[in-house]
Homo-oligomer: A and B are copies of this chain.
């Protein structure tokens, strides 16, 4: 059988660490290098740095170009940032060298939505070098867009779509909590929304652009609202204490209008400890169409675990894809890798028991 697929990971935070751990459990995939942006961590053993039981014998590197040239990865997974503009330079280093790239940067799920110039530059570079670039992740990229699109496949027609993801922010740290305004007074929350420091969910623009482009809808306008979720009881996490009357999270909603009517409504209420006030977390997709389709699950698909899995599970699809910038809707859908990741799918394969 061919050599294992050589995988490079960019990022040593929670997502990058999770990806490194998962790669170690997959047959046919070999971690060949880890890049971290922080130069003060360069040289630390990856295993030690991310808390594995034993060292991995691979140092964290901060010289991406040299690392790439030395280890010549087949594919790299970027887990360093959220914005397309921030993701571009690392992705360009990879693509220039013909390295296929998967990124979990939220805006890269459909970069043309907010950074069309970045999207066009990276697409051109990828095509020139024969590499594929994919943005993936749980949201944007899965629950509020890919899963919605897959469910519309059974519809002769669709009037409107509503998708809601209600989750629990309790496991998250200060960066996420600040972005959702957790712990603020309702007034400070409103000021934060105005000045942009409370921005809620990153990804509605990408999800809406993906859904609309694939279905063939022309979006006329997107209205976004960010409402404070005000606690009625005390809610406490290791990073924040929310007293009654303070903000426990942000109910962020985006509505896309098509042909003068509401076509896509995405709702993402994020808060710490929703269960303390009887709020169940979960994912729900409702398609008002012919036939109507409703699917839901509770609790929600956990974002961190899911994003790590999606990034790794996408590897075989990216390796098999045509060059250029792809969205998750452009490829055969990823699925869990439970056998050898190098195994190519063969629709002629006879069942083993047959």
Interface residues of A (CB under 8 A from B): 22, 25, 110, 112-113, 116, 119-120, 123, 138, 142, 146-147, 149-158, 205, 208-209, 212-222, 283, 289-291, 293-298, 301-302, 305-306, 308-310, 312-314, 324-327, 329-340, 343, 345-354
Contacts and interface: CB of A to CB of B under 8 A. Distances in A.
6 contacts: A153-B335, A157-B336, A219-B353, A283-B295, A291-B305, A293-B301
Nearest to A324: B347
A147 B313 CA distance: 16
A159 to B, nearest CB: 10
Contact of A347 (B147, B218, B326): B326
A308 B338 CA distance: 33
Nearest to A156: B309
Of A142, A151, A221, A308, the most chain B CB neighbours within 10 A belong to A151
Of A147, A149, A297, A336, the most chain B CB neighbours within 10 A belong to A336
Contacts of A142: 153-154
Given A116-B350, A306-B291, A339-B216, A345 B333 contact: no
Contacts of A158: 336, 338
A305 to B, nearest CB: 5
A231 B188 CA distance: 62
B337 A216 contact: yes
- Count of this chain's copies in the oligomeric assembly: 2
A208 B351 contact: yes
Contacts of A339: 215-218
Contact of A113 (B138, B340, B351): B351
A173 to B, nearest CB: 20
B219 A119 contact: no
A105 to B, nearest CB: 15
A336 B155 contact: yes
A354 B120 contact: no
A10 to B, nearest CB: 19
B325 A220 contact: no
B296 A296 contact: yes
A157 B217 contact: no
Nearest to A295: B297
B215 A338 contact: yes
A301 B291 contact: yes
B335 A150 contact: yes
Contacts of A309: 153-156, 290
Of A220, A289, A354, the most chain B CB neighbours within 10 A belong to A354
Given A156-B308, A157-B336, A336-B153, A351 B138 contact: no
